[in-house]
Amino acid sequence: MELGWLLWGAAVLLLLHFLTELSPAVNFALRLGWYCVLCVMGSLLAAPACLLLNGGRTVRNMRIIKNVVKTFKYFFGLRFEVKRLENFEVEGPAIIVSNHQSILDMMGLMEVLPDNCVQVAKRELMYTGCVGLIMYLGGVIFINRKSTTSAKMVMTEVAKTMVAENVKVWVYPEGTRNCTGDFLPFKKGAFHLAIQAQVPVIPVVYSSFTTFYNPKTKLFTSGKIKVEVLPPIETKGLTSDDVSDLADRCFHTMRETFFMLSGRPSPSEAKDSS
Ligand SMILES: CCCCCCCC/C=C\CCCCCCCC(=O)SCCNC(=O)CCNC(=O)[C@H](O)C(C)(C)COP(=O)(O)OP(=O)(O)OC[C@H]1O[C@@H](n2cnc3c(N)ncnc32)[C@H](O)[C@@H]1OP(=O)(O)O
Ligand SMILES: CCCCCCCCCCCCCC(=O)OC[C@@H](O)COP(=O)(O)O
């Protein structure tokens, strides 16, 4: 009886192996599916730990979540090479902004996440069952992207509480995933937030995933991701009139760094030399 089950198991594994060899689409779906399964299993493991150790929704749970998520990279052969982590060492709260390429970014985020830091996420993620629960327990701030007024109200409230409670806030200023090998224009919310709270902006840049991950061509192999934490940009004394300048400055420095880390000339340089 047991031998029968073993044989079935071996047959299924063999079939999966051949399917992945045959079709990149199957390989892609299986690896991404496995990532989702890991997220669900990790959440089921971490949720009771968060509740028992910290009692409910608090940023202290992020440490537990971070430690679980940091093991995920080994399943996918991903390596992170992190530079200038010391740039996170600012006194008190800050806004962290970074580029957003895929749901895989969550691994890169947890790889460098400083203490006392919560993320801004779209509200829909709250309804992903145990993954939504773990985000809630970790103190993630949920915004409704379909209603600018409500998103702005939440962000204004965050500007007050982040100072009172000494937390850093991680925002993806592109506002959505973008795996095209370039940046989308930045939305202004993160920069309004930084200026309203008068806290520094710390940009973080991840190199392009396109060499190992591409949802269009169904590519998902192992790979190396370079991460650089850029020096904090002060906002003391800036007013709402300075939001656009601050956003532009972050956009340009981050984009330059992105091309440098990805080992590609930036489109502006390429144009200059032609
Ligand atoms: C243990 C195992 C566990 C496994 C499981 C894992 C769990 C791990 C736990 C935890 C990790 C969590 C990881 C989560 C990752 C999630 C990522 C996402 O979901 S990314 C999508 C959501 N994030 C954003 O969208 C932010 C960026 N967006 C913005 O900042 C926008 O500006 C926003 C949302 C505030 C509004 O967006 P609009 O598209 O509706 O509108 P606009 O065009 O940007 O703004 C309209 C006008 O309002 C002004 N405005 C914006 N914010 C303002 C403000 N706060 N005050 C005043 N004016 C403001 C703007 O300047 C603009 O005006 P003018 O065009 O410049 O004149
Ligand atoms: C039954 C539900 C199982 C759900 C398993 C989901 C596991 C994935 C958890 C990874 C969290 C990362 C969140 C993320 O990166 O979300 C994408 C949004 O930033 C942007 O959304 P979009 O590009 O605008 O759609």
What pLDDT band is residue 267 in, cutting at 50, 70 and 90? Answer: confident
In the reported structure, the alpha carbon of residue 245 is separated from the centroid of ligand 2 by a whole-number distance in angstroms of: 30
Q: What's the average model confidence in pLDDT over 60-86?
A: 97
> Position of tokens 């493991």?
45
Atom of ligand 2 nearest to the CA of 121: 19
In the reported structure, the alpha carbon of residue 35 is separated from the centroid of ligand 2 by a whole-number distance in angstroms of: 11
Q: Which helix (H) or strand (E) holds 227?
A: strand 223-229
Q: φ and ψ at 189, to 5 degrees? A: -50, -45
pLDDT at 274: 47
- Ligand 2 neighbour 39 (Cβ under 6 A): yes
Task: Give SS3 for 8.
Answer: helix
Nearest-angstrom CA–CA distance, 68 and 89: 23
Dihedral sign computed on CA atoms, order 91, 53, 172, 255: positive
Q: What's the average model confidence in pLDDT over 64-68?
A: 98
106-146 tens-digit pLDDT: 999 999 999 999 999 999 999 999 999 999 999 999 999 99
pLDDT at 86: 97
Q: Which structure tokens are listed for 228?
A: 């650089």
pLDDT at 16: 78
**ipTM of the prediction:** 0.97
Structurally, how many domains does the chain consist of? 1
CB 174 within 8 A of CB 99: yes
In the reported structure, the alpha carbon of residue 173 is separated from the centroid of ligand 1 by a whole-number distance in angstroms of: 6
185-241 tens-digit pLDDT: 999 999 999 999 999 999 999 999 999 999 999 999 999 999 999 999 999 999 999
In the reported structure, the alpha carbon of residue 149 is separated from the centroid of ligand 1 by a whole-number distance in angstroms of: 12
* Reduced 3-state DSSP string for 165-214: HCCEEEECCCCCCCCCCCCCCCCCHHHHHHHHHCCCEEEEEECCCCCCEE
In the reported structure, the alpha carbon of residue 23 is separated from the centroid of ligand 1 by a whole-number distance in angstroms of: 37
**Ligand 2 pocket test, candidate residues 40, 120, 131, most atoms within 8 A of CB:** 131
18-62 tens-digit pLDDT: 777 768 888 899 999 999 999 999 999 999 999 999 999 999 999
Residue 251 has pLDDT above 60, yes or no: yes
DSSP state of 225: E
Domain at 189, CATH number: 3.40.1130
- Ligand 2 neighbour 155 (Cβ under 6 A): no
Q: Which domain holds residue 48?
A: 2-273
CB 47 within 8 A of CB 131: no
- Ligand 2 neighbour 174 (Cβ under 6 A): no
What is the crossing angle of helices 24-54 and 2-22, to 10°?
120
